[in-house]
């Protein structure tokens, strides 16, 4: 998962994601940000120059500046005109960014939990087709409606490369329209303070090109009866092959350990008796780009570390340390989880 | 507007129209020429002398209370600043463990809360209490004991609130305290209750201070100081106080509701039972955004005065500036939801709030250009205040510009809740309030210290703070664009955030060095005094620079212009020699002249209470009351509450005494009455202001009720029967009638005549009727099946009824107090301020009960 030599979360960093739009809902805002920035610099310079001239200017300049006329021009007329223009632009832009969905878009429900994101892909009737956590996969070039909900306190969903943020509020469902116009991985993060380890509540958005998207969808839905034959959202059906599971040497039964150690009480792994809903869904955890809600690379070592000692990695998270498990046992669980793809 | 035209207008205001019938020709008597009798000054000094030793704790004079208030507020500035340094160390590098997560979350919550509630608001209020009486040439503010109570409540409450940090019980939900994170389910500890406690104190002292300032500015100005000649700071404080009266009730209600939800499980904010988390956000920000201007406007008023002084010319655009202050006050109440653009508001609403947010920057622009124009019109004399003024203009403009950016909805969706906003708000608040405050410290320190502060150190203080500010906060704009949210205790490495954060941390310590140097300056030069002060170092032209003692000025000048000291070189001598109003004590007691609100024509002489231990006693036991409730020691809390009420009654007991002398000579042979009641009196104005506060709380409560009905109508049940509502209304109308009777029977009595038992008894029976009505209302709803913990309707209805019950209890205590005074022969006809206050409060309570019952019973009750 982690490309050698680069930071694990290469989806964050330079250039600033707010100024590096990857879709139409971020693009126009970036333009706006640059215009506002330029305007801000100009106005600051004007004011500083005015102060300088007021203090050090020639007698003539000072007498021009030193009256109510200067207040009318500099304090009322100039800002009045500029603000009116900005307001009109802002209103038009707001309108274009809050288009009402047509109803044909792919829909994903993202629910904020303390402190992770539950991701559910919905069919056109609103039923859950696929469940995943802390990772959002999208087809490039397709508008996607994100239904934003919360299971506990207020969170906020933000992928700066794709769009502005929108809050996830208990008792309400907000809708956010996003679209990625280029393939890639984009960082997401909770932007509303939600207590405890709010700082460590992130996720990854992956935008797939069309063929890659088809493969991804088929792969995820391969075991779901009736789904595999249906349309891929935004695409037509193409078959994909199952990736082979690598052999391993740990003699312990990771699955057994997972079920017996209490993991299954909070985590769901589709197709097994693990059906807990309190924590992230682990059905596809082997494919995940990150662990701990966007904070660690996903490999065997980090998985073992997370299971054994998640409280020192992300203090306050809802998962207890499983430090009573031996290293071999942790490894066995990690190996089994790696196979959940 | 040309100078000549302005002068004509002024003349018109002065001469031709009299507001109260006062003959303006009498003003020609001043300054008087006859020498004053010996010993008047000694008498004034004796009357106004402050208690010594431990008795100093009982002091109420504004010179002392104002100074203590400023000093305490500055202490909180330092404490909250230390918290900020702790946070910056934690964020200097990624994944540090300098502050554990829980501690960091407490630190940032306390930093915001303390800076906003325990520093900024009290500081501007404190500067007002310190400067206003002198600026207006009043002997003191109209309710000195109320000031003392407000200060001590703030002092005790603020310190105990801050101490929660040392035992790990400080709030950790952010200064905005959004439920459900702060509801009992997700914040089971008492940390959140400590927040509600701390805010409770500041609500009390802010409201008390606002009443004091409104009445002080409108009624205790020196004769001749028309509204048009008021110092700009007085204008700013007037708008400030009115804004507090309108805005604070919203957060008072919000905190009450949150505490009710936490303590009794009433679901105001719980969507599963018909509440809504966004209700809190509306209540909080309806207060929270005006709050920013509540902080900024007084500082802008200080700026306007200092700019004129350092440029040595009157402020350009005085009236535009007043207009800007008032406009800011108005518009700021229409912008609160710009903090909620990301909550999924309808597009129309975001458009409206965006427009209002842009509009509110216009008045700020007017003020900035007034200052620049004034600098250009005059000739600046460089000094530390001048540096801070110019620095403030620059910083504030930069913060204002990022504010305009955030007012653009699409941009806000990106920048909201990121470090970009952290940068914005610090630019605005430091540029708009902290820098003016430091300028004001240097400028006005001569009023209260033997020595001025050092210009040499002051220069260093300025440059350290100015550069430190930019080093800290300029990079944060980019930090926000890099995707760093606010309120994070750490961040991950390799995200391009390391260097930006390190720079910010360095900058924070540069600011701290500047503040430290200021403390050194204080230690070296500041020596508190009320007599031998350093005086008018920077050459200001307003009345606070008249020679003063604890009694303020020897005589109260006749004001003929905006900068009397510049326009009349003789005024200082004339005032000190007693050639103006009230050169002595006319009654042998503390007193000040009450003037009319617009033209400041002398109306009557107010007798003022002196030092007393009861205000501080009331404050301490108010603290005991709230603290005990917070730690759930209810019996002890009840004890504290009762003692606090007794202390308040005891302090009032000494006021409003029957006096023999009915009129007084206030100089030049002008006589005015001494004690008056009715709409002319300062107590009438104060009570009216309090009624606005209570009315606003009820208004916001009714808003909450209707708001929840709009969101979750499905949990609403039908109202109790109409006959019951009619009965409640009849009881309340009966109380109104009895209140009228109480006043009527008093008014028919002769001067000094004992009015018999009717006045107090009618008021007491009226209070009893109020109690019967609320009892009936409450039990009626219970019988109708409404349960407070079951639904948003139950919660809001019973919250409103609880508020009514508290108001009724207050009215009952007041009626009994009236009876007690009557029994002791302190209630004499034909008019008594105490009776006036009680009757009006009883009437108000009846009307409040009618409003609550009517709305919740008929809308949407009859429609369900």
pLDDT, tens digit, 9 for 90 and up, residues A126-149:
899 999 999 999 999 999 999 999
- If asked whether residues A205 and A290 sit together in one domain, one would say no
Question: How far does B293 lie from chain A, in Å, by closest CA?
Answer: 18
Query: What is the rounded CA–CA span in Å between residue B597 and residue B790?
Result: 50
Say if B585 falls within a structural domain: no
B129 and B442 in contact (C-beta within 8 Å)? no
Say if A88 falls within a structural domain: yes
Query: What is the rounded CA–CA span in Å between residue A163 and residue B456?
Result: 51
Residue A175, φ and ψ in degrees, nearest 5: -115, 135
Say if B571 falls within a structural domain: no
Residue B331, φ and ψ in degrees, nearest 5: -65, -30
Query: What is the rounded CA–CA span in Å between residue A182 and residue B835?
Result: 77
Query: What is the rounded CA–CA span in Å between residue B489 and residue A198?
Result: 8
Question: How far does A7 lie from chain B, in Å, by closest CA?
Answer: 6
The pairing of strands B663-665 and B671-673 is: antiparallel
pLDDT of amino acid B755:
85
* SS3 (DSSP) at A105: coil
Question: How far does A87 lie from chain B, in Å, by closest CA?
Answer: 6
**DSSP assignment letter at A56:** H
Say if A169 falls within a structural domain: yes
Query: What is the rounded CA–CA span in Å between residue B566 and residue B102?
Result: 57
| pLDDT higher than 70, residue A313 | yes
Structure tokens at B557: 């000048």
Helix pair angle (B384-407, B347-359), 10° resolution: 160
The domain spanning residue A167 has which CATH number? 2.60.40.420
* SS3 (DSSP) at B535: coil
| pLDDT higher than 60, residue A228 | no
Question: How far does B482 lie from chain A, in Å, by closest CA?
Answer: 4
Which structural domain, as residue segments, surrounds residue B816?
701-863
* SS3 (DSSP) at A34: helix
pLDDT of amino acid B13:
52
pLDDT of amino acid A4:
40
Q: CA separation (Å) from B232 to A199, B236, B239? A: 45, 6, 11
- If asked whether residues A185 and A122 sit together in one domain, one would say yes
Structure tokens at B394: 């620059």
B842 and B743 in contact (C-beta within 8 Å)? no
Contact A40 B401 (CB under 8 A): yes
Residues in chain A closer than 8 A to B417 (CB atoms): 156, 165, 191-193
pLDDT of amino acid B405:
95
Which helix (DSSP H) or strand (DSSP E) does residue A55 occupy? Answer: helix A24-56
Which helix (DSSP H) or strand (DSSP E) does residue B45 occupy? Answer: helix B40-48
Query: What is the rounded CA–CA span in Å between residue A19 and residue B830?
Result: 75
Query: What is the rounded CA–CA span in Å between residue A157 and residue B70?
Result: 42
B545-564 pLDDT, tens digit per residue, is: 999 888 888 999 999 999 99
Question: How far does B391 lie from chain A, in Å, by closest CA?
Answer: 10
Strand order in the sheet with A135-139: A135-139, A202-208, A184-190, A155-158, A166-168
Say if B40 falls within a structural domain: no
Query: What is the rounded CA–CA span in Å between residue A144 and residue A177?
Result: 6
The per-residue pLDDT of chain A, averaged, comes to 89
Domain end call among B464, B496, B525: B525
Say if B546 falls within a structural domain: no
Contact A169 B277 (CB under 8 A): yes
Residues in chain A closer than 8 A to B355 (CB atoms): 87
**Residue A102: CA atoms inside 13 Å, Cβ hemisphere, count?**
6
Interface test with A, best of B410, B476, B500 (most A CBs within 10 A): B410
Domain end call among B490, B525, B560: B525
Contact A70 B495 (CB under 8 A): no
Residues in chain B closer than 8 A to A175 (CB atoms): 344
> Which residues have CB under 8 Å from B817's CB, separation 6+?
B649, B652, B834, B838
Residues in chain B closer than 8 A to A158 (CB atoms): 483, 485
Neighbours of B54 (CB within 10 A): 8
Query: What is the rounded CA–CA span in Å between residue B507 and residue A291?
Result: 35
| Cβ-nearest to A171 among B277, B342, B393 | B277
Say if A237 falls within a structural domain: no
Which structural domain, as residue segments, surrounds residue A285?
254-338
- If asked whether residues A111 and A61 sit together in one domain, one would say no
The pairing of strands B602-607 and B663-665 is: unpaired
Residue entry with tokens 């350092």: B310
| pTM as predicted | 0.94
Contact B316 A66 (CB under 8 A): yes
Q: For chain B, count helices (H), then strands (E).
A: 27, 6
Q: Which of A224, A235, A337, A244 is nearest to A288 (CA)?
A: A337
Question: How far does B136 lie from chain A, in Å, by closest CA?
Answer: 27
- If asked whether residues A27 and A86 sit together in one domain, one would say yes
pLDDT of amino acid B200:
86
Residue A33 banded pLDDT, cuts 50, 70, 90: very high
Dmax (CA) for chain B in angstroms is: 86
Query: What is the rounded CA–CA span in Å between residue B449 and residue B526?
Result: 6
Neighbours of B32 (CB within 10 A): 18
Domain end call among B525, B553, B575: B525
Residues in chain B closer than 8 A to A172 (CB atoms): 271, 278, 344
A245 and A339 in contact (C-beta within 8 Å)? yes
Contact B483 A75 (CB under 8 A): no
Domain end call among A34, A69, A97: A97
Domain end call among A201, A221, A241: A221
| pLDDT higher than 50, residue A2 | no
The pairing of strands A166-168 and A135-139 is: unpaired
Say if A17 falls within a structural domain: no
Say if A55 falls within a structural domain: yes
B799-825 pLDDT, tens digit per residue, is: 999 999 999 999 999 999 999 999 998
Residues in chain A closer than 8 A to B411 (CB atoms): 29, 32-33, 36, 90
Query: What is the rounded CA–CA span in Å between residue B280 and residue B269?
Result: 7
- If asked whether residues A179 and A132 sit together in one domain, one would say yes
- If asked whether residues A67 and A138 sit together in one domain, one would say no
Interface test with B, best of A14, A37, A147, A193 (most B CBs within 10 A): A193
Query: What is the rounded CA–CA span in Å between residue B187 and residue B192?
Result: 7
| pLDDT higher than 50, residue A211 | yes
Strands (E), B58-144: none
Residues in chain A closer than 8 A to B401 (CB atoms): 39-40, 43-44
Question: How far does A13 lie from chain B, in Å, by closest CA?
Answer: 4
B300-319 pLDDT, tens digit per residue, is: 999 999 999 999 999 999 99
| Cβ-nearest to B483 among A17, A33, A153 | A17
Say if B326 falls within a structural domain: yes
Residues in chain B closer than 8 A to A154 (CB atoms): 178, 180-181, 277
| pLDDT higher than 80, residue A9 | yes
Residue B557, φ and ψ in degrees, nearest 5: -70, 160
Contact A200 B490 (CB under 8 A): yes
> Which residues have CB under 8 Å from B495's CB, separation 6+?
A7, A9, A12, A13, A187, B94, B482, B483, B484
A42 and A66 in contact (C-beta within 8 Å)? no
Contact A154 B180 (CB under 8 A): yes
Q: What percent of chain A has pLDDT over 90?
A: 79
Residue A244 banded pLDDT, cuts 50, 70, 90: very low
B358-406 pLDDT, tens digit per residue, is: 999 999 999 999 999 999 999 999 999 999 999 999 999 999 999 999 9
B735 and B813 in contact (C-beta within 8 Å)? no
What's the structural domain count of chain B?
A: 2
The domain spanning residue B512 has which CATH number? 1.20.210.10
Say if A12 falls within a structural domain: no
- If asked whether residues A113 and A181 sit together in one domain, one would say yes
Question: How far does B104 lie from chain A, in Å, by closest CA?
Answer: 10
Contact B271 A93 (CB under 8 A): no
Neighbours of B212 (CB within 10 A): 25
Query: What is the rounded CA–CA span in Å between residue B283 and residue B566?
Result: 46
Which stretches within A177-287 are classed as H helix?
Answer: 210-221, 254-260
Q: CA separation (Å) from B266 to A152, B332, B438, B795? A: 18, 31, 45, 5
* Burial class (CB within 10 angstroms; exposed 0-12, middle 13-18, buried 19+) of B284: buried
- If asked whether residues A79 and A129 sit together in one domain, one would say no
| Cβ-nearest to B408 among A90, A156, A192 | A90
A152 and B180 in contact (C-beta within 8 Å)? yes
Chain A's closest residue to B174, CA to CA, is A193
The pairing of strands A174-178 and A144-150 is: antiparallel
Structure ipTM over 0.90, yes or no: yes
Contact B376 A316 (CB under 8 A): no
Say if A325 falls within a structural domain: yes
Contact A164 B416 (CB under 8 A): yes
Contact A171 B271 (CB under 8 A): yes
Domain end call among A221, A238, A272: A221
- If asked whether residues A202 and A118 sit together in one domain, one would say yes
* Interface size, chain A vs chain B, as Cβ–Cβ contacts under 8 Å: 281
- Going from the first residue of chain B to its last (864 residues), give the mean pLDDT of each consecutive group of 10, the final group possibly shorter: 47 62 88 87 90 88 94 98 98 95 96 96 96 94 94 93 93 94 94 88 90 96 95 97 96 95 95 95 95 96 97 95 96 92 89 92 95 95 96 96 94 96 97 97 94 95 98 97 96 94 98 98 92 88 91 92 94 92 90 94 92 94 90 90 95 83 86 85 94 97 96 90 94 96 87 86 96 97 95 96 97 96 86 90 97 91 52
Residues in chain A closer than 8 A to B372 (CB atoms): 47, 50-51, 54, 65, 70, 74
What's the structural domain count of chain A?
A: 3
**DSSP assignment letter at A215:** H
- If asked whether residues A181 and A215 sit together in one domain, one would say yes
Say if B608 falls within a structural domain: no
The domain spanning residue B843 has which CATH number? 1.20.120
What value does the CA radius of gyration of chain B take, rounded to a whole number of Å? Answer: 27
B645 and B625 in contact (C-beta within 8 Å)? no
């Amino acid at each position: 998962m982690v490309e050698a030599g680069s930071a694990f979360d290469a989806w964050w960093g330079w250039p600033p994601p707010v100024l590096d739009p990857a879709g139409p809902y971020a693009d126009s805002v970036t333009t706006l940000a640059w215009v506002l920035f330029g305007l801000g610099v100009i106005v600051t310079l004007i004011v500083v120059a005015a102060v300088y001239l007021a203090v050090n200017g020639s007698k003539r300049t000072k007498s021009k500046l030193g009256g109510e006329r200067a207040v009318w021009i500099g304090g009322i007329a100039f800002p009045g005109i500029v603000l009116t223009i900005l307001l009109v632009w802002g209103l038009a832009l707001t309108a274009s960014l809050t288009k009402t969905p047509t109803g044909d878009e792919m829909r994903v429900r993202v629910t904020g939990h303390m402190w992770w994101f539950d991701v559910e892909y919905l069919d056109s009737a609103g039923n859950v087709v696929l469940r995943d956590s802390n990772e959002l996969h999208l087809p490039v070039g397709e508008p996607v409606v994100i239904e934003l909900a919360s299971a506990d306190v207020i969170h906020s969903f933000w992928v700066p490369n794709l769009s502005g943020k929108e809050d996830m509020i208990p008792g309400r469902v907000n809708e956010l329209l996003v679209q990625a116009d280029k393939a890639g991985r984009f960082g997401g993060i909770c932007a509303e303070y939600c207590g405890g380890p709010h700082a460590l509540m992130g996720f990854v958005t992956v935008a797939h090109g069309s063929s890659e998207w088809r493969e991804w969808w088929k792969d995820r839905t391969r075991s779901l009866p009736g789904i595999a034959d249906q349309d891929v959202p935004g695409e037509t059906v193409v078959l994909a092959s199952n990736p082979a599971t690598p052999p391993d040497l740990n003699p312990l039964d990771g699955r057994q350990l997972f079920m017996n150690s209490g993991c299954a009480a909070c985590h769901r792994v589709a197709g097994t008796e693990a059906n807990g809903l309190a924590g992230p869904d682990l059905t596809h955890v082997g494919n995940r780009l990150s662990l701990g809600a966007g904070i660690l690379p996903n490999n065997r070592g980090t998985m073992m570390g997370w299971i054994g000692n998640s409280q020192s990695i992300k203090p306050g998270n809802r998962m207890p340390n499983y430090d009573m498990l031996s290293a071999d046992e942790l490894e066995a669980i990690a190996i089994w989880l790696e196979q959940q793809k | 507007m040309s100078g000549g035209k302005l002068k004509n207008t002024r003349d018109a205001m002065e001469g031709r129209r009299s507001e109260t019938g006062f003959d303006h020709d009498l003003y020609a008597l001043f300054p008087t020429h006859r020498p004053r009798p010996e010993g008047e000054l000694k008498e004034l000094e004796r009357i106004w002398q402050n208690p010594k030793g431990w008795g100093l704790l009982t002091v109420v004079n504004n010179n002392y209370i104002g100074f203590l208030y400023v000093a305490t507020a500055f202490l909180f500035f330092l404490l909250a600043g230390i918290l900020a340094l702790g946070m910056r160390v934690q964020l200097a590098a990624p994944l540090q463990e300098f502050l554990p997560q829980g501690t960091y979350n407490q630190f940032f919550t306390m930093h915001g809360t303390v800076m906003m509630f325990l520093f900024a608001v009290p500081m501007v209020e404190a500067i007002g209490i310190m400067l206003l009486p002198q600026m207006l040439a009043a002997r003191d503010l109209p309710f000195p004991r109320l000031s003392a109570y407000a200060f001590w409540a703030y002092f005790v409450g603020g310190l105990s609130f801050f101490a929660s940090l040392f035992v790990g019980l400080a709030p950790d939900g952010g200064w905005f305290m959004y439920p459900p994170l702060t509801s009992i389910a997700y914040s089971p500890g008492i940390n959140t209750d400590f927040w509600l406690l701390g805010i409770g104190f500041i609500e009390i002292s802010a409201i008390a201070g606002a009443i004091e300032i409104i009445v002080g500015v409108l009624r205790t100005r020196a004769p001749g100081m028309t509204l048009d000649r008021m110092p700009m700071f007085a204008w700013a404080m007037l708008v400030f106080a009115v804004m507090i009266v309108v805005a604070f009730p919203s957060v008072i209600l919000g905190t009450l509701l949150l505490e009710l939800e936490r303590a009794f499980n009433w679901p105001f904010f719980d969507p599963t039972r018909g509440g809504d988390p966004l209700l809190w956000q509306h209540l909080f920000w309806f207060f929270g955004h005006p709050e920013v201007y509540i902080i900024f406007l007084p500082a802008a008023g200080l700026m306007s005065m200092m700019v004129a002084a350092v440029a040595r010319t009157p402020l350009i655009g005085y009236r535009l500036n007043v207009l800007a202050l008032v406009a800011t006050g108005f518009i700021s109440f229409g912008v609160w939801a710009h903090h909620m653009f990301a909550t999924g508001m309808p597009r129309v609403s975001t458009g409206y709030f965006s427009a209002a947010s842009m509009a509110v920057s216009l008045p700020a622009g007017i003020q900035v250009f007034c200052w620049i124009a004034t600098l250009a019109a005059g000739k600046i004399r460089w000094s530390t205040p001048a540096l801070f003024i110019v620095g403030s203009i620059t910083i504030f403009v930069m913060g204002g510009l990022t504010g305009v950016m955030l007012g653009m909805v699409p941009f806000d969706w990106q920048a909201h809740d990121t470090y970009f906003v952290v940068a914005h708000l610090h630019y605005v608040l430091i540029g708009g309030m902290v820098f003016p405050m430091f300028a004001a410290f240097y400028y006005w320190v001569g009023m209260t210290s033997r020595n001025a502060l050092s210009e040499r150190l002051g220069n260093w203080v300025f440059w350290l703070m100015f550069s430190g500010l930019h080093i800290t906060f300029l990079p944060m704009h980019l930090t926000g664009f890099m995707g760093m949210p606010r309120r994070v205790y750490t961040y991950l490495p390799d995200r391009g955030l390391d260097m930006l954060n390190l720079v910010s941390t360095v900058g924070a310590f540069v600011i701290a060095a500047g503040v430290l140097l200021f403390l050194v300056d204080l230690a070296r030069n500041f020596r508190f005094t009320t007599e031998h002060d350093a005086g008018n170092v920077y050459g200001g032209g307003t009345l606070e620079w008249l020679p003063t003692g604890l009694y303020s000025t020897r005589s109260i000048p006749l004001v003929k212009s905006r900068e009397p000291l510049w326009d009349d070189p003789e005024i200082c001598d004339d005032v000190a020699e007693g050639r103006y109003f009230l050169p002595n004590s006319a009654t042998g007691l503390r007193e000040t002249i009450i003037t009319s609100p617009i033209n400041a024509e002398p109306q009557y002489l107010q007798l003022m209470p002196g030092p007393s231990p009861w205000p501080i006693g009331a404050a301490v036991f108010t603290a005991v009351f709230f603290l005990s409730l917070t730690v759930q020691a209810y019996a002890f809390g009840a004890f504290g509450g009762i003692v606090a009420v007794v202390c308040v009654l005891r302090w009032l007991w000494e006021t409003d005494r029957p006096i023999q002398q009915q009129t007084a000579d206030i100089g030049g042979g002008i006589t005015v009455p001494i004690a008056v009641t009715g709409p002319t009196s300062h107590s009438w104005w104060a009570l009216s202001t309090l009624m606005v506060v209570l009315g606003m709380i009820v208004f916001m409560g009714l808003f909450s009720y209707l708001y929840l009905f709009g969101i979750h109508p499905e949990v609403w049940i039908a109202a109790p029967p109409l006959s019951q509502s009619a009965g409640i209304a009849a009881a309340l109308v009966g109380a109104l009638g009895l209140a009228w009777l109480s006043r009527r029977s008093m008014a028919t009595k002769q001067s000094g005549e004992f009015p018999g038992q009717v006045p107090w008894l009618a008021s007491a029976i009226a209070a009893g009727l109020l109690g019967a009505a609320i009892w009936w209302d409450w039990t009626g709803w219970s019988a109708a099946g409404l349960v407070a913990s079951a639904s948003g309707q139950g919660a809001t209805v019973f919250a409103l009824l609880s508020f009514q019950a508290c108001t009724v209890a207050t009215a009952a205590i007041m009626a009994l107090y009236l009876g007690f005074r009557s029994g002791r022969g302190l209630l004499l006809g034909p008019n008594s301020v105490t009776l006036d206050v009680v009757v009006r409060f009883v009437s108000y309570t009846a009307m409040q009960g009618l409003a609550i019952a009517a709305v919740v019973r008929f809308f949407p009750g009859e429609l369900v």
